[in-house]
Structures are given as structure tokens and as C-alpha cells.
Amino acid sequence: MSVTHGVQHIGLAVSHLEESAAFFTELLGWQEVKRREDYPAIFVKDGALTLTLWKTRTEEPVQFDRKNNVGLHHLALRVETKEGLYQLLDVLKANQVEIEFEPTLIREGPSMHMMCYEPSGIRIEFNYPG
């Protein structure tokens, strides 16, 4: 039996705190639940997952290289419907979010996913399980 159960929260270091928070709250519909001004942080949640967005101390941090660094390769978020995945694509495009790839089948399908970058450069995957 595992000593842990699920994810309590995930902490992400971001260079653009307000913009990264707005990505989750304004574009994805998450709720802001708390702020810490002493070590600038904004806490957001979607009902199941809480993220702590911690502000880096520099405006120009070293960008993560997923092929050469140990760390967060990407954050995958579930989308309940195929239609929701395409609606989200429209929202991201309308807000000039950098899209790595648009919705595509995973293997033979019917599951699909797409990948984008939130304002601080963290890769976010949206996954429709099919």
C-alpha cells in the first residue's frame, strides 16, 4: 500500500507571475485562492488541482531545456471533451498563446492532446482521454 495518495499541490517557478496566473484564471477559468506578497506567489486551482506559482527573483531566468535538464518536462491537464479541447485551442489562439502543436490523436486515438507554453515558458499539455 502506498504511503501517498494523489497530488496535494504543484509548485511552479514563473518569471511572469501576474501573466502566468492570468493564463490559468482568465483563459482556463481557474480560481485564484491566495496570494503571498513576501515571496511573491499566487495560488490557483481548478477544483481538483492547486498550483502555487512562485515568482523567480530575476526577470530573465535560465529557460528549462526538457532534453538536458532535470525538472518539469510538462504539466498535463485533462480536458473532458473533444469539443472542449478545440474550444480551448480557439481561446489560446485568440490570446496569442504560443502553441507547440494543435490537437492531435495519441497513437490511433480516440484520445487526443495539444501542447502550449504559458507566459513564463512552462509547457502545458491538454489531454482529452477519449
Sign of the CA dihedral running 101, 66, 29, 20: negative
> What pLDDT, in 10s, does the model give residues 24-37?
999 999 999 999 99
103 touches 86 (CB < 8 A): yes
Averaged pLDDT of the chain: 94
What pLDDT score does 67 carry? 86
Which positions of the chain have pLDDT values less than 50? none
Minimal CA–CA distance to 120: which of 55, 34, 29? 55
**CATH number, span 10-128:** 3.10.180.10
Label residue 21 exposed, middle or buried (CB < 10 Å: 0-12, 13-18, 19+): buried
pTM of the predicted model as reported, rounded to 2 decimal places: 0.92
